[in-house]
Structure 1
Amino acid sequence: MTSQRARYVPAIILTVSLFFLWGMANNLNDILIAQFKKAFTLSDFETSFVQQAFYLGYFCLAIPAALVVRARGYKTAIVIGLLLYAAGALLFYPAAHYGEYRYFLAALFVIASGLAFLETSANPLMTELGDQAGAARRLTFAQAANPVGTLAGVLIGKYFILSDIVQNDAQIAAMTPAAREAFYRTEIQAVQTPYLVIGLVVLAFALIAAMVRFPDHRETEEAAEVTVTPRFVEVFRHPRLLFAAVAQFFYVGAQVGLWSYTIRYAQANVPGMIERTAADYLFASLLLFGIGRFAGAFLMGRIAPSRLLAAFAGISLLLAVAAGLIGGMTGLLLLVGASFFMSIQFPTIFALGIDGLGPLRRAGASLIVMAIIGGAAVTAVMGHLSDIAGINMAMLVPAMAFLVVLVFALCQPRRPITMDH
């Protein structure tokens, strides 16, 4: 077993890097929302198109990704995912050249299509690379790279995309047409170089993945004792999995919505705050999120996952409600604090949902990945409510989403999560 584990060390290292790469892509969207709102003079609802296009890619490609994993193995799925990710990032260059919002949305859809392949592959792969006794430890280690990627995404956005130029509506209106056009053009082209570099780096990862040795997909199925290929429709016979997919839909919507509008909330509630300073609060949110993941993993050794999920979801709900009703700097700090308690919700819902599925585990995983479309739906509702009643009231939408997660957690058995293979 030691020689087998050593043989797949490069594959393990590469797979861990995937968690970093998609974390970075996801949270760069939060920066893009602030940037595009200014560059294209969008309403809050129109800025939600960023997340709608992005998470639609996840929804559309999750099942095809699972089918590719099943038919051709993890390596093929990962290479396809990285190539799509790279292609989408490189498409930002012509999108910035033409200066059309819709072209950026198309590029984001392509990026997310690639991420659907990566997420559908990486989570189960980490449990199958090496001995089964260390499966949970390997997956926890890999997930630790995700919040590091999210922090990197915010830092890239803050220093290479967001500007420190403060122009209010009156100042922009007072510009000459030529100056106004130049201002908007500069803001649009700010995304060009960072995404070009990201695209080239991800393309290099794709080339490396093509050369790295991964377990043959037939080997992993034999290790998992899969003797009969289950039909995907069989997952709909498992109520807990379906409830988990619903809970994940609302959780991802709450997470994406809160982070998408953190910069917007900060600027609306703290007069005079510029985008780069507001991005610091988003960075703090993600830092607390990463700390919370480690703290949650520690607490799960002493508290049943479903009970801890209920506690964290309930606290997130209260903090989101308080942020919506109190506002100001206090509301902003409460909003930032909610990220600590969001930390364990995605992986815990995921693990509870596929617990006990056996050979249906991969199909069940793809169903939960499809539920990520909640990031598009909830963000759109928040944007629409913000345009009507203000950004503070929009924070009550993720609060209601956390309520769904709380109900899901309270309905689960209070026992450890098993690792089915």
Structure 2
Amino acid sequence: MATGVTGNELSRKQWAFAFSLVTSLFFTWGFAYGLLDVLNAHFQSIFDIGKTKSTLLQLAYFGAYLVYAPIASVFRRPWLTLGQGAIFFWPSAVYRTYGGFVGCTFVIGCGLSCLEVAANSYISVLGSPKYAAARLNFSQGFQGVASFAGPMIASRWFFQGKNANSLDTVQWVYLAVAGLGLVLNILFYFCKLPEITQDALAQEMHDVGLTNDKDPFWKQYRCIFGWVAQTAYVGAQVAVASLAVNYLTEQGVGIDKPLASQLFSYCQITFTVGRFVGVVLLNWVDPALLLSIYAIACCTFSLGVTFGPGLSGVGCLFALFFFESICYPVIFTLGTKNLGRHTKRGSGLIVMGVGGGAWFPPAAGSIADRDSTAHSYIVPFAGYVAMAIYAVGITVDQARKGGFRLRTIDEIAQKRAQMEREKHVSDSDIDKKGSEEFVESVSV
């Protein structure tokens, strides 16, 4: 087991192994999250509850992030927490207790929040900082692959035939999730990952002038406002997904619940495709600029969902899922950029922003119950506006400092080679102006 290393010091074999194993985590909780949204509509029928009450699942799941993420580093076996939450879906289904499902969902969220703090941070530092956004987008792309599997399963097994009014299949699916949690816990126990320590990371960033951690954490405004943007974005994303099945069935174009669940899985596929497209774009376009473009598109299409009639609204919903794709990982990398010794704390704060998913859906659900599901999408629009302000603000700041521009692969390679040479030169011999230009040109 390698200790005290940075991502750039790992061998190719070590890097590939670590990256692959940690990426497998994203697939697992993408599957669990994909199931959560379709359970909203299913539980409305099973328990005869309204849209607002059904969003208690989102409140429990994402509220766990708000409570647990700041202390996530204390817990060493989050898979045990995840498995316990999943396995208790069984008695909740047997006794048809909605409160039991809400409680189990909270426990699952606690386990996943621990994993997400660790996995996002590890992927971000597992290599050059300038590729962090693209690297995290690629890993989280597999979360998207899994997230459409949940609705696809639901459209086939939850809403058809006798299962339309039964919880039998729900309990079996979550027992499988519990079993997967146990397998991964064993796998991570025996497969040791290279340790990228906080001290080694901070020293690397100091060596290349890529950190500004002399100020206290509360003055790391890029991170603080990144938490605000992440809270707003995740709240908007979850609100969009939690009522998507209801929205599709209410558009007056002949879509029933099984078809709506299937279309929702296609929305998730669109999201996943968008994320992998984003991986390519982030190799050429500055992350802050790309996030600005996508955030403005999210604002536009959320209004289209709110006011677009029939199939035009459905089309805007698909477009909205596409432009949501890169937002979470790019906000994470922008918010945790150059934090040095504050990286661990900053990562926990940004992941805590996932807690926004706890209160946006109930707000949207309340409007859906009182007015219409379509008009409830004005709630996520507000979240996208907050994200757009953050992204545009960073883009303007970089442009003002002369650091924003498109990058070519050759330029990136040349700059990397230049910095490798400079690492062997004393600080007095480094051209400060050139170093500052490099820092701005490869900023993520």
AA in 1 matched with 2:334: L
Partner residue of 1:189 out of 156, 168, 171: 168
- Aligned amino acid, residue 225 of structure 1: Q
What whole-Å deviation, never above 9, does each CA across 1:339-378 have from its counterpart, x for those lacking one? Answer: 1111111111111111221121121111011111111111
Residues 365 and 131 of structure 1: is their aligned pair in 2 closer, same or farther, counting only changes over 3 Å?
closer
**Matching residue within 90, 100, 103 for 2:100:** 103
Choose 381-390 or 291-300, whichever is displaced more: 291-300
Aligned pair in 2 of structure 1 residues 373, 134: CA closer, same or farther (>3 Å)?
closer
Q: Which runs of 5+ in 1 are unaligned?
A: 69-75, 166-182
CA distance in 2 between counterparts of 1:87 and 1:226 reads: 39
Q: Distance in 2 between matches of 1:353 and 1:22?
A: 22
Give the secondary-structure state (helix, strand or coil) at the position aligned to 1:356.
Answer: coil
Letter in 1 for 2:44: K
Q: Which residue does 1:73 correspond to in 2? A: none
Match of 1:405 in 2: 387
**Cross-structure match for 1:178:** none
Q: Per-residue displacement from partner, 1:82-127 (whole Å, max 9, x unpaired)?
A: 1111111111101101111000011101111011111001122224
Letter in 1 for 2:200: E
Give 2:236's aligned residue: 254
Answering whether residue 87 of structure 2 is matched by residue 90 of structure 1, we say: yes
Distance 1:116 1:134 in 2: 24
Q: How does 1:328-367 map to 2 (within 5 A)?
A: 328-367=310-349
CA distance in 1, matches of 2:133, 2:330: 13
2:52 & 2:22 partners in 1: Cα distance? 35
Equivalent residue in structure 1 for 2:285, among 296, 303, 320: 303
1:270, 1:203 → 2: CA distance?
A: 44
The counterpart of 1:395, out of the listed 357, 364, 377, is 377
Say whether residues 1:225 and 2:222 are aligned partners.
no
1:199 to 178, 185, 194: 178
Q: Distance in 1 between matches of 2:195 and 2:282?
A: 33
CA contact (8 A) 2:205 2:338 kept: no
Match of 1:175 in 2: none
Identify the residue that residue 31 of structure 2 maps to in structure 1: 24
Q: Post-superposition shift, 1:310?
A: 1.6
* Residues 255 and 387 of structure 1: CA distance in aligned 2, closer, same or farther (over 3 Å): same
> Equivalent residues in 2 for 1:118-197 (5 A)?
118-129=115-126, 138-163=135-160, 186-197=165-176
Q: Matches of 1:138 and 1:308 in 2, distance apart? A: 15
Look up the match of 1:213. 192
Provide, for residues 304-344 of structure 1, a one-character-per-residue CA deviation record: whole Å limited to 9, x for no partner: 22222122111111111121112322211211211111111
Alignment match of 2:72 (pick from 65, 73, 79) = 65
Q: In percent, how many aligned pairs have the same letter?
A: 28
Give 1:161 shift. 2.5
Q: 2: CA distance between counterparts of 1:340 and 1:196?
A: 31
Q: Normalized against structure 2, the TM-score is what?
A: 0.80
Deviations 1:27-77 (A, max 9, x none): 211111111111111111101101000001111111111345xxxxxxx3x
Q: Residues 262 and 402 of structure 1: is their aligned pair in 2 closer, same or farther, counting only changes over 3 Å?
A: same
Structure 2 counterparts to residues 256-295 of structure 1, below 5 A: 256-270=238-252, 272-295=254-277
Amino acid paired to 1:21: T
Say if 1:360 and 1:274 are closer, same or farther in 2 by CA, change over 3 A: same
CA pair 417-267 structure 1, distance change in 2 beyond 3 A: farther
Q: Is the 8 A contact 2:60 2:103 kept in 1?
A: yes
Give the number of equivalent residue pairs: 389
Q: Which amino acid is the alignment partner of residue 375 of structure 1?
A: G
- What's the CA shift string for 1:263-290, capped at 9, x where partnerless? 0001111354222200122112111111
CA contact (8 A) 1:355 1:418 kept: no
Q: Is the 8 A contact 1:4 1:130 kept in 2?
A: no
The residue aligned with 1:51 is: 58
Distance 1:210 1:8, change over 3 A: farther
- Cα deviation for residue 220 of structure 1 reads 5.5
CA 111–326 in structure 1, closer or farther in 2 if over 3 Å, else same: same
The CA distance in 2 between the partners of 1:133 and 1:319, in whole Å, is 30
CA distance in 1, matches of 2:385, 2:275: 20
Secondary structure in structure 2 of the residue aligned to 1:190: helix
Shift of 1:164: 5.0
For residues 297 and 245 of structure 1, the distance between their equivalents in structure 2, rounded to whole angstroms, comes to: 22
Contact 1:164 1:274 in 2 (8 A): no
Q: What letter matches 1:99 in structure 2?
A: R
Alpha-carbon contact 1:86-1:202 (below 8 Å) kept: yes
Residue type at the aligned position of 1:30: D
Q: 1:106 to 1:419 in 2, by over 3 A?
A: farther
Aligned in 2, Cα 1:327/1:357: closer, same or farther, shift over 3 Å?
same
Query: 8 Å contact 1:323–1:392 — kept in the other structure?
Result: yes
Q: CA deviation at 1:18?
A: 0.1
The answer on whether the counterparts of 1:164 and 1:276 sit within 8 Å (CA) in structure 2 is no
Query: Residues of 1 paired with 2:287 and 2:278: CA distance?
Result: 9
CA distance 1:417–1:316, change in 2 (3 Å): farther
- The 1-side partners of 2:222 and 2:9 are apart by 37
